[in-house]
Chain A
Amino acid sequence: MQQLFERLQALFAVTDFKEQRGDLAFLRIPKDHAEMLIRHLRDHEGFTHLVFFSAVDYIEDGIFRLIYMLHNYGTKDTLGVHVDISRENSTMTSIHELWAQAALYQRELKEMYGIDFPGSPGVDEDFLLEGWDEIPPMRREFDTRAYAEKTFFPRAGRTSADPRAHMQENLYPDGGES
């Protein structure tokens, strides 16, 4: 995997190479070069399998980290490509022409994180949520508990069975580390 990184470094502005295991590594590339790198990995390095495509919200840094997980069936290596994009007006180049299922991942990211992929087929269609008018729910600032308390009405007499609260009460009745 180190050799692959050196080959890519000669062609692209890839950084932050990290080998998690012998068959799994991660690297980072600026947003503008990402689609070219992914196309190169698919067409010239044998990473023909798009395992999944998702995002991690780093709200404290004001970024979404996109993760393109690619797999090479020949060398049996898996490579995670990180692309950091701004949380404000977040858009990214679509890769629906490279893999058929990419459009679906992009449609999900649009709904769940509000990341737009202009030109991606059906990207504006509802994926799971119909008539959703809150902020995209996978963003860190979306508070599931506040939403549930506002939207749903629990049955009378229900009490919390949170094991953490229960154990803390029993193990550390006078307080202690939480």
Chain B
Amino acid sequence: MGFLDNSSITVDAILTKRGREILSEGGDLAIVKFALSDEEVDYGLYDVTHPNGTDSYGAVIENMSLLEATPARTNFRSFLVNQSLGGAQVTLDSLNYTSVDTNANIALNPSTIGGAAENYTFTIENTNIVKFTGSPSATTTTASSVNLVAQSISTAATTTVTIIGSTSGIVNVVTISVKADPTSNQDPTGPKTFKSNKTVTAGSARTDAGSGPSNY
């Protein structure tokens, strides 16, 4: 007879930059939901030919040590979902936009293949490089599609836009490279031109009307 394992899984969470920002503004975190991710896991290492049998198929994955959490996260690269959504994917016309001119518009119109129609959460990594048309202060917006506008920047720079299906959780990433504007003195790696990180949901009223330049 042996002793039962009485250990429980307890983990410490760290706030993301957005979480810190909300606290610094005196706001309430108001955490209402969670999502699970399997980032860092390569299921290709699941070895169904392992000589020790089925219990050892996932040994390589289960024994790995994971990286620590970092605050500079806005979302995860992959999510655990229910089986009904297994195999679904989010597609776009293009995942890579290069040499985009200043003030050029980019339309992102994703669709979910293998799942129900849904809205998507769009998150811009660096809003000095592209912004949402009509919502210049937002870094995140939820809608079925969005239009982006390339910003005037002093040196060529690249950013990403992460697209996550609101229901499916499927992630895709669009990379956008904007050309330098010789007339600009805006450093693309400098502080964000709009401090607030407001989130805009489809159908909600804009809270930043008139706060930016007129060429969105």
A pairs with B: no
Q: Identify the B interface with A (CB < 8 A).
A: none
Q: Identify the A interface with B (CB < 8 A).
A: none
